[in-house]
Chains A and B, each alone.
With several copies, the nearest count.
Chain A
Amino acid sequence: MIRRGAKARAGDVADIRPLPEAVADLVRDGDTVAMEGFTHLIPFAAAHEVIRQGVTDLTLARMTPDVIYDQLIGAGLVKKLIFSWGGNPGVGSLHRFRDAVENGWPRPLELDEHSHAGMANRYVAGASGLPFAVLRGYRGTDLACGSGTISTVTCPFTGEELAAVAALNPDVTVIHAQQADRDGNVLMWGLTGVQKEAVLAAGRVLVTVEEIVDELVPRPGGVVLPGWAVTAVAEVPGGAHPSYAAGYSVRDNDYYQAWDPISRDRERFTAWLRRNVLDREGAATR
């Protein structure tokens, strides 16, 4: 068993292993899990493996919960969502998310709701080893009311009052990237969103990649995560589908459109989940 967090010690490098084994080892019942990706590089295959393994009672964190979280919520694995924008980008609502919030189906969903700026800074604080972050935010809105993770601080120099948000340190962060080398160093490029912060804030890190390569070649916009800051890497070509991986695939917009009618109906969703996730393993195993 791998047991490694942010404070890596001598001898640790990211293990390269099959996705089912990595998920079984790293993602546990009751965990706070961040699966990040801003439209791009969303780790769908890893989420489907979580669904297949029935890892449950999860607190899911994500700036933009989209179809991937709709599926996890609909599967009944999620007790709480920490987020800032929950929709199907360019299409509309997330119906499984709405059904859980509005009707408690298949189980009630607790919400910890922020703005994007607040969520981004919560990850920044987590990655920085600080208990909170400061921002100009939330003033005058109803978001701050009743949230246990939004407060205020006063500037000791100017006396000005600013918003404070609590650090977000997921038990495990899961991301998808384009490449890793055999030492588990990870390379991603294009829109890389808040992934570096979500990774560095987490206790355990699982990265699925399009491809394991002999050598990572530096490239414009490339972000490297050293292998010693990653717990496990799994090679999962197409692991971001229906999201995309710049340089490997394009976004499957038809999938996102098709998700709307599927997800509107509980039975249709349940049948879809069984056929496309629970009874299917091939895509995720190598």
Chain B
Amino acid sequence: MTDAPESASPDELMTVNAARALAGARTCFVGIGLPSAAANLARRTIRPDLVLIYESGAVGAKPARLPLSIGDGELAETADAVVSVPEMFNYWLQAGRIDVGFLGAAQIDRYANINTTTVGRGPDRPASRLPGAGGAPEIAAGCGEVLIVLRHSTRNFVDRLHFVTSVGHGTGRGDRERLGLRGRGPVAVITDLGVLRPDPETAEFVLTELHPGVTAEQARAATGWPLRTAAHVGTTAPPTAAELTALRALTNA
């Protein structure tokens, strides 16, 4: 197997690394968009047995192409089981049965709290309305652990959220336990520049890996809080040809 062609885009680096983060997962609750692309890529590469769970009711979906929405017919047709939406949230998610919740976000802060509700645009303009919570608050609360994938920019990585839609690590280590949230919370934020992981002591997300060719300075410049770096910042392995081929087949299908 050869290394990837040089043309791997930042988005592709993000998705490939997001897929790799599922190497240890048996079951994944999949948000639509980037998380769904990453989880489907994982099924085609590193984790063929990964059980994909979509909030629309599909348990063990095996779509041949990337679904446009979480309610695509193929999800139901290829699922091991189709359940009602209340059953999905109560019996499967809330009970703590799912290993990994995979979320996107409009904004996150340094503790990987998520805002998908509303964003301020300055004093003269009304706040910008986003889609809202969807399944994210309880995915973030109840899955064994949480992965977040989003593009890196100061618009997305902000010092202070306008609205907390879903709790990551709250105001720091120990906050999840105080709130009675049962899962371990976010363990990685995978971006088009690199990977952030929580500091073991404080739960503040720090830069732990950069994609090939990206500098820590670039990551800091794209982050709305003073981004700290881990003692050793690694470099993510370049996408393999197999990964890129699978990803492109998936997104172009």
> Chain A interface (Cβ within 8 Å of chain B)?
6-12, 38-40, 63-64, 83-87, 89-90, 93-94, 97-98, 101-103, 113-117, 120-121, 123-124, 127-130, 135-143, 160-161, 185, 190-194, 196-197, 200, 221, 223-226, 228-229, 244, 246, 250-251, 253, 256
Task: Give the chain B neighbours of A127 by CB distance below 8 A.
Answer: 90-91, 95
B180 touches A139 (CB 8 A): yes
A103 near B138: Cβ-Cβ < 8 Å: no
In the assembled complex, B24 has its CB within 8 A of some CB on chain A: yes
A84→B133 contact, CB < 8 A: yes
Among B70, B95, B130, contact of A200 (Cβ-Cβ < 8 Å): B95
Whether the pair A193, B85 counts as a contact (CB closer than 8 A) is yes
Per-residue interface assignment for chain B, residues 130 to 173, with 1 indicating a CB less than 8 Å from any chain A CB and 0 otherwise: 11111111100110100000000000000000011111001000
Q: Is B81 an interface residue when CB atoms closer than 8 A count as contact?
A: yes
Chain A residues whose C-beta falls within 8 Å of the C-beta of B48 in the assembled complex? none
Instruction: Check B85 against A10 for contact (C-beta < 8 Å).
Output: no
B153 to chain A, nearest CB (A): 17
Number of A-B contacts (CB under 8 A): 219
Partner of A194, one of B86, B133, B163: B86
- Kindly list chain B residues whose C-beta atoms are within 8 Å of the C-beta of A251: 68-69, 72-73
- Name the CB-closest residue of A to B128: A102
Residues of B within 8 A of A223 (CB): 81
B165 A143 Cβ-Cβ under 8 A: yes
Q: Given known contacts A38-B85, A192-B57, A193-B57, is B90 in contact with A7 (CB within 8 Å)?
A: no
**Cα–Cα distance between A140 and B167 once the two chains are bound (Å):** 6
Q: A7-B97, A8-B99, A40-B71 given; name 15 further pairs at CB < 8 Å.
A: A39-B71, A40-B73, A98-B129, A116-B55, A116-B89, A129-B96, A130-B94, A136-B141, A136-B180, A137-B94, A137-B137, A185-B80, A194-B85, A200-B91, A226-B59
Q: Does B93 contact A (CB under 8 A)?
A: yes
Complex: A244 Cα to B141 Cα, angstroms: 32
Interface size of B by Cβ–Cβ distance < 8 Å? Answer: 66
Within 8 Å of chain A (Cβ to Cβ): is B127?
yes
Contact B131 A10 (CB under 8 A): no
Main secondary structure of the interface of A (DSSP, over half): loop
Q: Chain A nearest CB: distance from B86 CB in Å?
A: 4
10 of the cross-chain contacts (CB-CB < 8 Å) are: A113-B133, A115-B136, A115-B137, A136-B141, A137-B137, A139-B180, A143-B165, A191-B56, A194-B84, A226-B81
* Contact A136 B142, beta carbon cutoff 8 Å: yes
Q: Which residues of B contact A (CB under 8 A)?
A: 24-27, 32-33, 51, 55-60, 68-73, 75-77, 80-82, 84-86, 88-91, 93-97, 99, 117, 126-138, 141-142, 144, 163-167, 170, 175, 179-182
Report the bound CA distance from A191 to B72 in whole Å.
9
Q: Which residues of A contact B164 (CB under 8 A)?
A: 140-142
Q: By the criterion CB–CB under 8 Å, are A140 and B165 in contact? A: no
Q: Which of A85, A229, A250 contacts B134 (CB 8 A)?
A: A85
Q: Is the CB of A83 within 8 A of B94?
A: no
Alpha-carbon distance A136/B139, docked complex (angstroms) = 11
Closest to B89 in A: A117
Q: How far is the CB of B249 from chain A (nearest CB, A)?
A: 19
Separation of A143 and B166 alpha carbons in the complex (Å): 9
B73 touches A83 (CB 8 A): no
- A11-B26, A102-B127 known; A123-B137 Cβ under 8 A: no
Across the interface, name the chain A residue whose C-beta is closest to B33: A90
Cβ–Cβ < 8 Å partners of B97 in chain A: 6-8, 200, 229
Complex interface: chain A residues within 8 A of B77 (CB): 190, 246
